[in-house]
């Protein structure tokens, strides 16, 4: 949990309220007091926005800022000077005050106070289809969802991680039909393949055979539409879907067998990636509740049935269009199961908010889902949100599952670990470690490179993934931050070996610029986490962790720690290192990244 330490900003807020009363005879509350970190291009540490206070002073922004600056300089210990920049008052904090702020951080314990204020939040991520293995796009999805869950938990919310497995539908039936036609009764055990890879190859085989069939029909004189309508392969897949929904024993048996292979494969990938779930929902179960909801909506006149028997909702009055809910043959669509899943989840958790971590190509789908739920009278629908993120592209272009042109998640994880091994061996960083310890560190480095490279990008943006660039031990990468953490742990081990134990920190020290800069960054942890939670953006934390690691390395390079002759200063620097390592570790933990003790 985040600590709720008393901050200098709170003292400034209180003193500004007093200043407004003393200087202008005006009563004000904190809603008009805007205190924030000073922007890097300006002098100062803490900025007071003056514009909202002009109604109390009746003066110009510059005169008001000067009045308040002089008052705060006299009334607020730790303020050494101030600068007026138009309607902003930038306050400079003294080094002695930063020392006091660090001592507060270092001595403060953890508290659960914020948890009492938290909400119940569901985060849905992963959402795989059981016709193919997980790929690079799924990795971004899983990493974003898992990190978002940890960030919201850190802010005191009761967070439940959920997954919806899309285990039914025409795409699943395509894999089933291809296995019946081309599989020759083989199983994953027969081939030595992971179950999800085994099933996925039949999805690709179906699409390949289907494309060939369509081309042959077109060559015989049919149009593309006529060819698609006449396809025997597609007709066979649709027939399997109808049989499945009718409960045909043989069809359901094959479906269960092939899905079980896929689940085994998924679990291996999830474990390797380090993500998990509190509850997994299955479309094959929730779509039935969705159909009941659609039928109820029909009776209420919210939906309507066309002559062919299909069920629709008309959203034209809401500036949208018509949306299919049930096909003419009675089979369900994605929207059907999403309606059922949403209702079932609310019944399970009575959530305040639910976040769907799904790519931005589904923006319209979730807009419609929320609107339909509200039309059905579910007031809690106001609390569902689409966490929309951009696509992951490769240097050679967009991935295509139907053609098998994807970066497989398992292969990518293995390749990242292999690359970490190669680069670490080139640099000679782990030459004196045992083989088992080396492999454990290689895995942590490889996964950190993968996770950090993806999470440091604003999730709303499309991104280009470059494995080699992500694993560099220098620059804005996961391994660089890990190396900094390992360096700190090495300093602390040496301090322990020398018998240095920090019990208390002297208040008589004079901090240098690098030490003050580190303290300023360390104080930002709580506000950074809150910003990441409010903006649903793990990259805020990722880039904070990098900034903190970079700042510590500059401090480490410029100043001796254990070789410092002044015991008081040496103890402070040990404590500063220890606390920096703690915050780096906590930040990276929120991203789902493990930190090695040695590198």
Q: Which residues of 220-233 are buried (b: 16+ CB within 10 A; e: fewer)?
A: eeeeeeebeeebeb
The answer to whether 377 and 147 are in contact (CB under 8 A) is: no
pLDDT of residue 4: 40
pLDDT of residue 112: 42
**Cross-strand pairs, 82:** 91
The answer to whether 593 and 448 are in contact (CB under 8 A) is: yes
Nearest-angstrom CA–CA distance, 275 and 318? 38
State both tokens at 160.
Answer: 């439940």
Eight-class DSSP state of 546: H
List the domains of the chain with CATH numbers. 8-93 (3.30.1360.70), 125-403 (3.40.50.620), 409-590 (1.10.730.10)
pTM, entire model = 0.90
Q: Are strands 353-359 and 120-124 parallel, antiparallel or unpaired?
A: parallel
Contacts of 87 (CB under 8 A, 6+ apart): 49, 50, 51, 61, 62, 65
Nearest-angstrom CA–CA distance, 528 and 536? 12
Nearest to 471 by CA among 548, 432, 413, 554: 413
The answer to whether 87 and 125 are in contact (CB under 8 A) is: no
pLDDT of residue 559: 96
User: 566: burial class by Cβ within 10 Å (0-12, 13-18, 19+)?
Assistant: exposed
pLDDT averaged per 10 residues in sequence order, the chain, 599 residues: 59 94 91 89 93 94 96 93 94 90 83 61 97 93 98 96 94 96 95 96 95 95 93 95 92 97 97 97 94 95 95 94 91 91 98 97 96 97 97 65 67 91 79 86 94 96 84 87 96 96 91 93 93 96 98 96 95 97 98 93
HSE on the CB side for 329, CA within 13 Å?
13
pLDDT of residue 117: 65
What is the phi/psi pair of residue 246, to 5°?
A: -85, -5
Coil, strand or helix at 507: coil
pLDDT of residue 396: 60
Task: Give me the helices (H) in 274-404, please.
Answer: 283-299, 334-349, 363-375
pLDDT of residue 426: 80
Nearest to 387 by CA among 233, 538, 579: 538
The answer to whether 64 and 86 are in contact (CB under 8 A) is: no
Give how far Cα 210 sits from Cα of 86, 161, 402, Å. 68, 37, 11
Nearest-angstrom CA–CA distance, 572 and 515? 10
Nearest-angstrom CA–CA distance, 396 and 393? 8
pLDDT of residue 402: 45
Q: How far out from the chain centre does Cα 23 lie?
A: 47
pLDDT of residue 423: 83
pLDDT of residue 109: 60
Nearest-angstrom CA–CA distance, 193 and 411? 13
- Residue 378: count of CB within 10 angstroms of its CB: 18
Nearest-angstrom CA–CA distance, 63 and 183? 82
**Helix, strand, coil % in the chain, rounded to nearest 5:** 60, 15, 30
């Amino acid at each position: 949990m985040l600590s709720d330490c008393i901050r200098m900003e709170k003292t400034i807020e209180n003193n500004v309220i007093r200043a407004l009363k003393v200087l202008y005879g005006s009563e004000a509350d904190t809603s008009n007091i805007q205190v924030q970190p000073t922007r890097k291009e300006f002098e100062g540490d803490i900025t007071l926005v003056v514009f909202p206070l002009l109604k109390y002073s009746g003066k110009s922004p510059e005169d008001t800022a000067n009045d308040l600056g002089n008052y705060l300089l006299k009334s607020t210990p730790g303020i050494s000077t101030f600068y007026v920049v138009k309607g902003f008052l930038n306050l400079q904090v003294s080094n002695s005050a930063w020392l006091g702020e660090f001592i507060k951080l270092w001595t403060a314990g953890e508290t659960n106070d914020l948890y009492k204020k938290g909400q119940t939040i569901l985060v849905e991520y992963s959402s795989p289809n059981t016709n193919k293995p997980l790929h690079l796009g799924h990795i971004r999805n899983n990493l974003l969802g898992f990190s978002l869950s940890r960030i919201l938990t850190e802010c005191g919310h009761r967070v439940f991680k959920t997954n919806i497995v899309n285990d039914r539908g025409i795409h699943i039936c395509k894999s089933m039909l291809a296995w019946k036609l081309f599989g020759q009764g083989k199983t994953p055990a027969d081939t030595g393949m992971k179950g999800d890879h085994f099933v996925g190859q039949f999805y690709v085989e179906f699409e390949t055979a289907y494309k060939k069939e369509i081309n042959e029909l077109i060559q015989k004189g049919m149009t593309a539409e006529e060819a698609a309508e006449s396809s025997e392969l597609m007709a066979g897949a649709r027939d399997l879907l109808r049989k499945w929904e009718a409960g045909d024993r043989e069809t359901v048996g094959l479906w269960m067998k092939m899905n079980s292979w896929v689940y085994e494969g998924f679990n291996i990938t999830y474990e390797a990636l380090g993500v998990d779930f509190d509850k997994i929902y299955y479309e094959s179960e929730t779509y039935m509740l969705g159909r009941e909801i659609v039928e109820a909506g029909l009776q209420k006149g919210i939906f309507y049935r066309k002559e062919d028997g299909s069920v629709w909702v008309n959203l034209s009055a809401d500036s949208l269009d018509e949306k299919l809910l049930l096909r003419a043959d009675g089979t369900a669509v994605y929207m059907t199961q999403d309606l059922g899943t949403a209702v079932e989840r609310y019944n399970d958790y009575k959530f305040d908010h639910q976040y769907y971590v799904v790519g931005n190509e589904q923006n319209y789908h979730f807009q419609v889902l929320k609107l339909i739920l509200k039309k059905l009278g579910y007031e809690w629908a106001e609390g569902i949100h689409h966490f929309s993120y951009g696509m992951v592209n490769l240097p050679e272009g967009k991935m295509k599952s139907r053609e098998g042109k994807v970066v497989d998640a398992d292969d990518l994880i293995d390749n990242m670990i292999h690359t970490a091994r190669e680069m670490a061996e080139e640099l000679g960083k782990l030459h004196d470690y045992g083989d088992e310890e080396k492999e454990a560190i290689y895995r942590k480095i490889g996964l950190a490179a993968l996770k950090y490279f993806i999470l440091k990008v604003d999730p709303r943006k499309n991104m280009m993934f470059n494995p080699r660039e992500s694993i560099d031990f220098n620059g804005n990468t996961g391994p660089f931050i890990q190396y900094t953490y390992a360096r700190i742990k090495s300093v602390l081990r040496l301090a322990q070996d020398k018998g240095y134990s920090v019990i208390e920190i002297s208040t008589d020290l004079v901090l240098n610029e690098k030490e003050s800069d580190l303290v300023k960054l360390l104080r930002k942890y709580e506000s950074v986490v809150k910003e990441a939670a409010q903006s649903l953006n793990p990259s805020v934390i990722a880039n904070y962790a990098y900034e903190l690691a970079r700042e510590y390395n500059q401090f480490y390079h410029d100043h001796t720690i254990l070789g410092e002759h002044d015991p008081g200063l040496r103890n402070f620097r040990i404590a500063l290192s220890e606390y920096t390592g703690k915050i780096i570790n906590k930040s990276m933990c929120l991203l789902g990244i493990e930190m090695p003790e040695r590198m």
